A = this chain, B = another copy of it.
Amino acid sequence: MNFRVHVLGCGSALPTLKHWPSSQVVEVRNKIFMIDCGEGTQIQLRRAHVHLISIQAIFISHLHGDHCFGLIGLICTFGMLGRTAPLHIYAPPELEGMLNAQINMFCQGLEYEVIFHAVNTTESQIVYEDKSLTVSTIPLDHRTPCCGYLFREKPTLPHIRRDMIDFLGIPVSQINNIKMGAGWTTEEGRVYSHEELVTPPTPARSYAYCSDTRYLPGLHKLLTNVDLLYHESTYCEDKKDNAHKYFHSTAREAAKVAKEAHVGKLLLGHYSARYNDEQLLLKEAREVFSESYLSKENEAYDV
């Protein structure tokens, strides 16, 4: 089953010709979510050939323009495209009043509901849950209340061994019981254990989005063993003072978090407009954590 991150924008606040402001689409088992929604996100969505109105929820990390100015345009466009399914928005509470005022002014007569969920950015809490997935907040340290989001698949059941089912003539009605842990006893009284009838489940996968934030020494505890981590890396170490001053991270710091958390892969992003050559950021990160990669607009990354 798919679990994939499409990067729509991985630049920072100042517009450049190379990058778009922050936005990602996360596809998990055919459900589509968005994280952050900077200006122009709906244009980037067209490029990514994502089916716009399939997006069921949008998670906003914080209320800086490069992470949320595309929201109202996207909401209007959903309306023009005839959306009827509710749209869930998870964001710091201060956004709700502004968003309602914008909708009243610019999108009268929407035929779908926009449901606002205020998130507490100071604690790690599950904010979304369905039968296969949870999304939790990750408290971050930025100039304004800010949290990341952790997408974690729920553990799945083991796989049935089709060969054993056929060999033993086990009826279809019993398969779910076996997946849940039961064994099987033949008419002759021979007992087959649960473990003989299944193979282990596909490991549950996880993706964490951490932007924007200063280096946070305890952050890795919330990220232990995630398969893919996107961690902002606005600067190189040469601008560590800027990173500290503006509550951002360097590429080395992002890699340090990745290493401390034993993640599978690290995606760098939220690049400052000052860097023409992002290989500098990558080089710095790889010195600490070899499985570091540069995120790029219009690329998709499997978790």
Contacts and interface: CB of A to CB of B under 8 A. Distances in A.
Contact of A39 (B14, B16, B70, B94): B70
A179 to B, nearest CB: 44
Interface residues of A, number: 31
Interface string A40-60: 101101110000000000000
A65 interface: yes
Given A15-B43, A105-B98, A65 B76 contact: yes
Interface in A15-50: 15-17, 20, 39-40, 42-43, 45-47
B105 A63 contact: yes
B101 A105 contact: no
Contacts of A94: 105
How many copies the complex holds: the figure is 2
A195 B62 CA distance: 68
Contact of A69 (B13, B20, B73): B73
Contacts of A14: 77, 80-81
Contacts of A13: 76-77, 80
A106 interface: yes
Contact of A106 (B15, B63, B70, B72): B63
A81 B16 CA distance: 13
A8 to B, nearest CB: 13
Interface centre among A46, A47, A107 (most CB of B within 10 A): A46
A47 B42 CA distance: 19
A17 B65 CA distance: 23
Contact of A77 (B15, B43, B106): B15
Contact of A17 (B40, B46, B64, B70): B46
Interface in A222-242: none
Interface centre among A15, A20, A102 (most CB of B within 10 A): A15
A47 B98 contact: no
Nearest to A42: B15
Contacts of A16: 46
15 contacts: A13-B77, A14-B77, A14-B81, A15-B46, A17-B46, A17-B47, A39-B39, A39-B69, A40-B43, A63-B105, A64-B106, A65-B72, A65-B76, A65-B106, A101-B101
